[in-house]
Amino acid sequence: MSLNSQPQHPIRILTAVPICDGHDSPIITINLELARHGVELIYLGYNCPASAIARAAIQEDVHAVGISSYNGGHLAFFNEVAVRLRKLGGGHIPLFGGGGGTITPQDEVVMNRRGVDRIFFAGTPLAKIVSTIIQHYGRPPKMKLSSLRGDFKLARAISGAEISKSKIRKAKQIQTLKSQSLKCKSFVVGVTGPGGAGKSTMIDELVRCYLQQHPQGRVAVLANDPSHPDSGGAILGDRVRMQGHDLDTGVFIRSMASRGHLGGLALAVPEAIRLFAAAGMPLVLVETVGVGQVEVEVASATDTTVVVVNPKWGDSIQANKAGLLETADIFVINKADMPGAGQSRRDLEQMLDLSTPGDWRPPILETVSTTGEGVDALWAEIGRHRAFLVGAGLLEPSRRQRLRREFRLVLRARIEVEIDRLASQPLYAELDEDVVEHRLDPYEAAEKLLAHVGDDSGRRAAN
């Protein structure tokens, strides 16, 4: 699927369930339906304090915030979220919600006066809820870019990085931050592995390790999730497992949808990393999409790559598949308290023994990230690998190579945009028909179409 077939300006909605409220099945149903209609849905889970919801809304640069409240206390809680949003400079972000029969029409009147945009009452059809959200929150709230400060300015800059032709990207304030980013460098750690390996929980623990060493430090997390191949929607739920630091002012977490880009990372990840560096964050942790096998692109976008697997994740053949050895600087067997951890270690050791030896042999660690067991040792190995890169003179050459690769990826994406533009012209339809009728083979047709990339001749040829 081409990059351009995804929505160019996806709607970003954040949803959450309040503190002391464990009823999340209704909001999950709405989340899934919104994603099916092309919305990028950032879900915080249940038992969320108002301060965490407000900070996440700012960092994620969302179009609106939705809260599902079934346990009462909604008058105070919604008001607290609205107050905290205003304090953080997000008073322009609409706030909506629902609560079955808990929230009454009389309550809505009071909540409207306190900054809540709308309430969906019990019995409202799901289709109407979804269509209303898309219709009313389909565009980012209007605000002056010159008024952006702190996390909000950084969040809006990342949004601009995700949309190549956006006005945000070209704004003076964002350009200033981008120019600073070219001179700043963060150390970047990539965490990859199949879905369910425990990457998000492990990253939450790595943040803890960093902040223990640097109590006043700042750290960024980029969590990537897949976009739906047809609608472009996404469920961005990694923050659910990173709630240990949702109130730490030194931690910035941003969820990114792949938006059609393959390889486990969104196309905007490298630029977002530079923006984090310009904002004074010396450490950036990047989590890959985590669909299927290990995504190898993370190795070319980060300084240290941690590959996370689970016990019984595969046999020795799986361990020797191409790309795994080249990707990993450190192997981690997470959930090591489960049966099969020893066999997984032996399979990985065998793979390393059969490989061509180098100056750095990836260590194999065992962790239980839900308890923090072994994560301190992993943090120490990340530091050891960084020291190795610096001592061997490999860090800067690797970063230069990353920029070359990013240039090619961006160029390829721009060319795909041009191809999609031509695909909407009559010339494409003519060539498509020639292929189907066997007058041209696909290669010949592609050559004819590519000859018109970058100019308007596709339109002229069709006229």
Span 27-56, average pLDDT = 93
pLDDT band at 462 (very low <50, low <70, confident <90, very high): very low
pLDDT at 36 over 90: yes
- Distance, CA of 334 to CA of 311 (rounded, Å): 7
The most confident of the ranges 308-322, 366-380, 401-415 is 366-380
Return the residue matching tokens 């995804």.
6
Residues 204 and 349 in one domain: yes
With a CB cutoff of 8 Å and minimum separation 6, the contacts of 451 are 457
**Same domain, residue pair 327 and 404:** no
Counting residues of the chain whose pLDDT is more than 70, the rounded percentage is 84
pLDDT value at 366 more than 90? yes
- 122 and 214: one domain? no
Domain membership of residue 163 (yes or no) is no
Do residue 386 and residue 415 come from a single domain?
A: no
- Between the alpha carbon of residue 217 and those of residues 142, 255, 280, 415, 456, the distances in Å are 33, 21, 9, 40, 51
Residue count of the chain, please give it. 463
Q: What pLDDT is attached to residue 176?
A: 57
Same domain, 308 and 418: no
What pLDDT, on a 0 to 100 scale, did the predictor assign at position 1?
Answer: 38
Whether 457 has a pLDDT exceeding 60, the answer reads no
Domain boundary among 392, 414, 443: 392
Q: What is the pLDDT of residue 253?
A: 96
Span 436-455, mean pLDDT?
85
pLDDT of residue 142: 67
The band of 4, judged by pLDDT with boundaries at 50, 70 and 90, is very low
Mean predicted confidence (pLDDT) in 166-174: 53
Q: Look at 289 and 33; give whichever has higher pLDDT.
A: 33
In CATH, what number is assigned to the domain containing residue 337? 3.40.50.300
Instruction: Tell me what pLDDT residue 181 has.
Output: 53
Distance of alpha carbon 116 from alpha carbon 77, whole angstroms: 11
Other Cβ atoms closer than 10 A to 163: 15
Extract the tokens encoding 171: 């704004």
pLDDT value, residue 458: 43
Backbone angles phi, psi at 284, to 5 degrees: -125, 125
Mean pLDDT of 424-428: 87
Residue type, 66: G
Q: Which pLDDT value is given to residue 351? A: 86
User: How does pLDDT run across 62-78, given as a tens digit for each residue?
Assistant: 999 999 988 778 999 99
Residue 334 belongs to some domain of the structure: yes
Q: Are residues 94 and 203 in the same domain?
A: no
Backbone φ, ψ for residue 108 (5° rounding): -60, -40
User: Based on the domain organization, do 297 and 210 belong to the same domain?
Assistant: yes
Range of the domain at 27: 7-143
pLDDT tens digits, 196-242: 889 999 999 999 999 999 999 999 999 988 888 788 899 998 898 88
Most confident of 2-6, 45-49, 69-73: 45-49
CATH number at residue 38: 3.40.50.280
pTM of the predicted protein model:
0.86
| Per-residue pLDDT at 367 exceeds 50 | yes
Residue 184, pLDDT score: 62
Cα separations in angstroms, 202 against 313, 329, 405: 17, 16, 28
- Tokens 């790309």, residue? 323
Question: How high is the pLDDT of residue 425?
Answer: 84
Domain count, the chain: 3
Give dist(CA 223, CA 232) in Å, integer.
17
Tell me the helix, strand and coil percentages in the chain, rounded to 5.
50, 15, 40
pLDDT at position 306 is 95
Helix runs in 355-425, H state only: 375-391, 395-423
- Average pLDDT over the chain reads 85
Radius of gyration of the chain (CA): 24
Residue 150 domain-assigned (yes or no): no
Residues 223 and 268 in one domain: yes
Q: Is there a single domain that holds both residue 53 and residue 134?
A: yes
Residues 293 and 369 in one domain: yes
Confidence at 19, pLDDT banded by 50, 70, 90: confident
- Kindly state whether residues 388 and 407 are assigned to the same domain: no
Q: Residue 406's pLDDT band (boundaries 50, 70, 90)?
A: confident
Report, as an integer, the average pLDDT of 358-376. 95
Q: How far is CA 452 from CA 2, 174, 365, 416, 436, in A?
A: 18, 33, 52, 12, 21
Residue range 354-378: mean pLDDT, rounded: 93
Whether residues 412 and 294 fall in one domain = no
Question: How many other C-beta atoms can be found within 10 angstroms of the C-beta atom of residue 151?
Answer: 19
Whole-angstrom CA distances from 10 to 35, 133, 139, 190 are 10, 13, 9, 25
At 267 the pLDDT is 80
Using one digit for the tens of pLDDT, what is the confidence trace for 76-99? 999 999 999 999 989 999 999 998
